[in-house]
Each structure stands twice: as structure tokens, then as C-alpha cells.
Structure 1
Amino acid sequence: MKDAIESLIEKFDLEFTSEQRDFLRFLYENLHLEELSDKEQHFFIDYFYKSETLRNMAAFALELADSMREICENIPAIEQAERLANGKEQRLYYERKQQVARRQKLNRQIIKKGNILYIPFDENKKETGPIIICLEQTNGMAAYTDICKSMILSLFMNAHSEHRDLYIVPYDCQIHVHYRFENGHINLSDFKDFIEYKAKGEAAVLPVLHFVKGLLQENQHCTEADIIIFTEGTPIDGQHLVGKQAKAVLDEMKRKYHAEFLVIAMHEHNFNEQQFWFANKAFFADDAIQ
């Protein structure tokens, strides 16, 4: 029996090697391409066919799958039983689980006085916050840009399964553009722009942190935001990260939005632990980029 990828390749009459089919299958599963219309799926597969960059990213993402599991586990964990589900079954599983969790939480918060029930509907409106990826795009990161984007591909599945918005914010010393993928769903135009986007210059972290704070302010009813920073590890304003102004901004984000920061640095020897004091965890990509 043909799987979805084999059927699509046959339908659109394109020639792929068995290896390329595996890469496309990985993207199909992680990016939930089955939700796209036939026209959009044709666009994506045609783009994959023509874009060596995307094919290389998919190959590397597949190779990094085990490593990315460890990183993804620092975003609200997915239980082993849930990992085994996929496609429509997975989405239904999460929807049922979240509905049960919301009912249980609401029941715990209800206060009864006589024959009056006090129900905290405002509290119940709060949902898990977005996943915000800050991707350094500079001269120093030029050799690692495709690798970092490969890692990000796997994060779409986490955002999708948890019904969380996924923001991707490329940055150098300022922010020129950002992409929002609602509930982890693919927007083909933004996805293509993200894959092809490149910037030059040097990196400054404070502007992107202020930008992230603005994104969190737009999500007033959300909590437990996850911010993932991809960096070479040597921002030009690194010394200011330990200053009072930066600490006040970061402390507010942690307190008000329960923000957790994960830093993925390219080289451990470039990483300044004091400057990135706010990181809950840090990973180093040395092994992956050798």
C-alpha cells in the first residue's frame, strides 16, 4: 500500500531518489503537510524539488532527530505514549487531553459558598504561551545558518501538537522581519521566506529580547512561554546583559509570562555563562557542526 508521500510524488509526476523521499517524508510528518490543500502540497513538493537548501536542511534535520528530542524535551514534555501517535490520531489525542486538563483545572478552582458557585473564568482563559525562536543571522553565523534552521524544523511538530504559536525572529543587531506560524501550522509564503532569509552584520541580543517582550505582551492571556535563542555566543552587547536594565526586562518576562530561556550556542568556548545568566538551559552544537 502506498503511503501519502509516494502517492503525492506519483500524482505530481516528479522524480525523487529514495533518499530524497525519506527527507520529504520527514518534512511531511514534522510540518503536518497533510493539512494543506492539494495546491499547497504541490507548491511545497515543487519547492522541495527545486530547493537544494531545503533538501539539505531536511537531510540534516533527519540526522539530528535524536539530538532534537533532547532539546524538545525542554519544552513541555511529550510523554512516550504520545510520541507513538501521529497524524489525525495524535491531534485528537491532544485535543481530548487538553479538554480534560482544562475541566480538571476549572473544577479545582471553583469555590462554593452556600448555593453559589464562584467560577474563575478569567483564569481559565490563560493558555500555554508561544514558542519564540530567536535566530542569530550574522556574518559569524553564516556557516551555521542552515544547520540551525534544520533544528528549527523539528520544533514545528511540538508547536503543532501543543496548539502553540511558533514565532521565528531572525536578528543581527536589530530585527528586520519575523514570522508567526499560528498553532504551528505552515504558512507556505512565510516558510519559504524563512528558509531563504539571510542577514549580515554583527549580533546584539538586547534588541531581540525587547522585541520578544513585545510579542509576549500581545499574548496577555498566555503563560509558560518558551524562548529559544540560537547564537554564535559573542553578541556585541553581551556585557549589557548583566546590567540592571536587561536584568529588569528578563526578570519581568520570567515572572509575568513564566518565560523559560533555552540557548543553543554554536561553540562552547564562545559561550559566556555570565552574560547568558538568564538561560534555564544551554546546549552546544559543536558535535553537530563538525
Structure 2
Amino acid sequence: MKDAVESLIEKFNLEITSEQRDFLRFLYENLHLEELSDKEQHFFIDYFYKSETLRNMAAFALELADIMHEIRENIPAIEQAERLANGKEQRLYYEQKSQEARRQKLKHQTTKKGNILYVPFEEYKKDSGPLIICLEQTTGMVAYSELCKSMILSLFMNAHRERRDLYIVPYDCQIHVHYRFENGHLNLSDFKDFIEYKAKGEAAILPVLHFVKGLLQENQDCTEADIIIFTEGTPIDGQHLVGKQAKTILEEMKRKYYAEFSVVAMQEHNFNEQQFWFAKKAFFADDAIQ
């Protein structure tokens, strides 16, 4: 019996190498190409053939299987039972898990005064927050651009499975553009722009934090946001991360939106642990870059 990728190859009468078939299979599984219309699938296939960057990203992702596996398991954290779930059972599992998490949060946030219980039911109704990826796109990151974007590809799967909005925010000294993929669904126009986006100059981190705070305010009906920062590790304003203004912003995001921060740094020796004090997890791409 043909799998979905083989059916796709046959449907569009593709002349494709075994290597390209592997690349396409990775993209199919992570970007849920089966949800696209025939016209959109044809557009994607055409772009796949024309874009060396996209093919290189898929190649990176396949070569970096161990790193991709670690990121997929830890950003955000996914339990073994969740990873084994699939299809209808998967959706049911996540709905039950989400409801249980909200019940527990409701229990912890309930206060008692005398014989009166104050229950914040409005918090119980909130959905999981967005997955926000801040991608440094600077002169120093040019060599790592395809590597970082290949890692981001697999995070579409997390967002799609958990029905979370996925934001990708490229940045240098400021924010020029950002992309929103509702519930992790592929938007071909924004996806193409994301693949081809390039910037130069140096990186500043404070404008990114302010921008992320704005995104969280737009999603204030949600909680438990995950923010992932891809960085070379040396923002020009990194010293300000330990300052009062940055700490106030970061603590507010953690408290109000249950934001959890993770960092993917290109080289460990460039990473300043004191400056990125707010990150719960840090990953280093040294082995992949060499």
C-alpha cells in the first residue's frame, strides 16, 4: 500500500530522486501537507524544486536527527505517552491533558476567605498560549540561517498537534516583519517569505522582548506561552538583560502568561548564562555546526 508521499509523487507525476523523496517525506510529516488543497500542494511541490534553501533545510533536519529529537522532546516538553498518541486518540489525549492541567491550575489559584472560596473560573476557560520563535537574522548568523530554519520546521508539528498558534519573529536590531501560522497550519505565502527572509547587521534583544510581550497581550485569553530564542549568543544590548527594565518585562510575562523561555545558541562559548538567566532550557548547536 502506498504511503501519502508516494501518492503525492504519483499524483503530480514527479521525477524525484530517492534523496529528494526523503526530504519531501520530512516536510510532509512536519508541515502537514495533506491539509493543503491540490492547487496549494502543487505550488509547494513547485517551490520545493525551485528552492535550494528549502531542500537544504530538509537535508539539515534529516542529518541532525538527534538534535531535532532533543528539541522536539524538550521545547515544549512532551511526555512519552503523548509522543505515542496519534490521530483521534492523540487529539483526545491532548484535550484531556489540557483539561486536567487547567483543573490543577484552578485548584492552586483558588483562595479561601472565611467560609468563602474565590475560584478564578475565567482562567479555566483560557487556551494554551502561542509558540513564539524569535530568530536572530544578522550578519553573524548568516552561516547558521538554514540550520536554524531546519530546526524550526519540526516545531510546526508541535504547534499543529497542540492546536497552538506559531509565531516566527526574525530580528536584528529591530523587528521588520513577523509570521503567524494559526494552530500550526501552513500558510504558503508566509512560509515562503520566512524561508527567503534575510537580514544583516547586529542583534538587539530588548526590542524582541517588547514585541513578544505585545504578542502575548494580543493573546491574553491564552496561557502557557513558549518562547524560543535562536541566537548567536552576543546581542549588542545583552548586558541590559540583567537590568531592572528587562527583568520587570520578563517576570511579568512569566507571571501573567506563564511564559517559558528557551534558547538555542549557535556556540556555547558565545553564550552568556548570566544574561540569559530567564531561560529554563538552553541548547547548543556546536556539534551540528562543525
TM-score by length of 2: 0.90
3-state SS in 2 of match to 1:280: strand
Instruction: Return closer, same or farther for 1:20/1:172 CA change in 2, 3 Å cut-off.
Output: same
Superposed displacement of residue 241, structure 1: 1.2
Q: Aligned partners of 1:138, 1:226: CA distance in 2, in Å? A: 23
Can you list the C-alpha shifts for 1:20-72, whole angstroms capped at 9, x where unaligned?
11111111011111111111111111111221110110111122233222223
Contact conserved, 2:103 with 2:124, CA < 8 A, in 1?
no
Which residue of structure 2 lines up, in the alignment, with residue 83 of structure 1? 83
Amino acid at match of 2:45: I
Superposed displacement of residue 275, structure 1: 1.2
Superposed displacement of residue 80, structure 1: 2.5
Pairing 1:52-91 to 2, within 5 Å after superposition: 52-86=52-86, 90-91=90-91
Which residue of structure 2 lines up, in the alignment, with residue 45 of structure 1? 45
Which residue of structure 1 lines up, in the alignment, with residue 24 of structure 2? 24
Pairing 1:167-206 to 2, within 5 Å after superposition: 167-206=167-206
Instruction: Return closer, same or farther for 1:267/1:240 CA change in 2, 3 Å cut-off.
Output: same
Which residue of structure 1 lines up, in the alignment, with residue 115 of structure 2? none
Pairing 1:1-290 to 2, within 5 Å after superposition: 1-86=1-86, 90-91=90-91, 93-95=93-95, 98=98, 121-290=121-290
Contact conserved, 1:29 with 1:87, CA < 8 A, in 2?
no
Q: Aligned partners of 1:232, 1:59: CA distance in 2, in Å? A: 22
Contact conserved, 2:136 with 2:172, CA < 8 A, in 1?
yes
Q: Aligned partners of 1:144, 1:49: CA distance in 2, in Å? A: 22
Superposed displacement of residue 141, structure 1: 0.3
Superposed displacement of residue 74, structure 1: 2.8
Amino acid at match of 2:139: N
Instruction: Return closer, same or farther for 1:101/1:231 CA change in 2, 3 Å cut-off.
Output: closer
Superposed displacement of residue 82, structure 1: 3.3
Q: Aligned partners of 1:191, 1:105: CA distance in 2, in Å? A: 35
Amino acid at match of 1:220: Q
Q: Aligned partners of 2:269, 2:217: CA distance in 1, in Å? A: 34
Amino acid at match of 1:58: A
Can you list the C-alpha shifts for 1:1-24, whole angstroms capped at 9, x where unaligned?
211111111211221111111111
- Structure 1 residues 200-209 or 33-42, which shifts more? 33-42
Q: CA RMSD in A?
A: 2.4
Amino acid at match of 2:32: H
Amino acid at match of 1:44: F
Identity %: 87
Instruction: Return closer, same or farther for 1:96/1:38 CA change in 2, 3 Å cut-off.
Output: farther
3-state SS in 2 of match to 1:73: helix
Superposed displacement of residue 97, structure 1: 5.2
Contact conserved, 2:165 with 2:182, CA < 8 A, in 1?
yes
Can you list the C-alpha shifts for 1:202-224, whole angstroms capped at 9, x where unaligned?
00000001000000001112111
Superposed displacement of residue 138, structure 1: 0.2
Q: Aligned partners of 1:99, 1:262: CA distance in 2, in Å? A: 25
3-state SS in 2 of match to 1:277: coil
Can you list the C-alpha shifts for 1:81-105, whole angstroms capped at 9, x where unaligned?
4323445664455356546766898
Q: Aligned partners of 2:268, 2:107: CA distance in 1, in Å? A: 47
Q: Aligned partners of 1:247, 1:177: CA distance in 2, in Å? A: 25
Can you list the C-alpha shifts for 1:248-273, whole angstroms capped at 9, x where unaligned?
11111111111111011101111111
Amino acid at match of 1:149: K
TM-score by length of 1: 0.90
Can you list the C-alpha shifts for 1:182-240, whole angstroms capped at 9, x where unaligned?
11110010001000000011000000010000000011121111110000011111111
Structure 1: which 5+ runs fail to align? Answer: 112-117
Which residue of structure 2 lines up, in the alignment, with residue 114 of structure 1? none
Instruction: Return closer, same or farther for 1:104/1:15 CA change in 2, 3 Å cut-off.
Output: same
3-state SS in 1 of match to 2:274: coil
Instruction: Return closer, same or farther for 1:272/1:110 CA change in 2, 3 Å cut-off.
Output: closer
Contact conserved, 2:136 with 2:171, CA < 8 A, in 1?
yes
Query: How many residues are aligned here?
Result: 285
Instruction: Return closer, same or farther for 1:87/1:28 CA change in 2, 3 Å cut-off.
Output: farther
